[in-house]
Structure 1
C-alpha cells in the first residue's frame, strides 16, 4: 500500500502547536548550556524575539532557522510530533 493524501486518516495526524515548538526551542538551547543572551548573540536575534518564539507567540520560520543554525541542528529538530 502506498501512502497518499487520499488515504491518510486525519484522526491519526496530530498537529504541532506553536507552544510545542516554543517549548522545544526553549529546551534545546538549555540542553547545550545556552542562555537566552548567548543564543541572541549567536543567532543575531534580540532576547525579546527569542522569548516570543519560546512562548509560542512567534514561530516565524526564518527565526527558527536562525536559532537552529546557531545551535548547529536541523530546524526540523524543533518539531515534536
Structure 2
C-alpha cells in the first residue's frame, strides 16, 4: 500500500513539474496544446494507477488461492473434512 502511495506521489510530482515548466499559453493554439498535454498526462497517470490496481488484485487472488489450499491441507492433516465444493 505504501509503495502505491509513493508511486502516485512520484507521478504527481512529475506531472506538476511538466506542467510548471511550460510557459503560460499566449494564444488559442498554445492553450489547445497545453490542455492536450495536461489531458495526456492525466490519462497516463490513470492508466498507470489502473495497471497497479489490477496487478494488486491478481496478487491478492493468488494469495487467497494459496491460503485456501493451505487451509485445506491442514484440515486434511487434522482429519477434518472440509466443505464440499
- Give the TM-score of the pair, scaled to structure 2: 0.27
- Give the TM-score of the pair, scaled to structure 1: 0.28
Larger Rg, first or second structure (1 or 2): 2
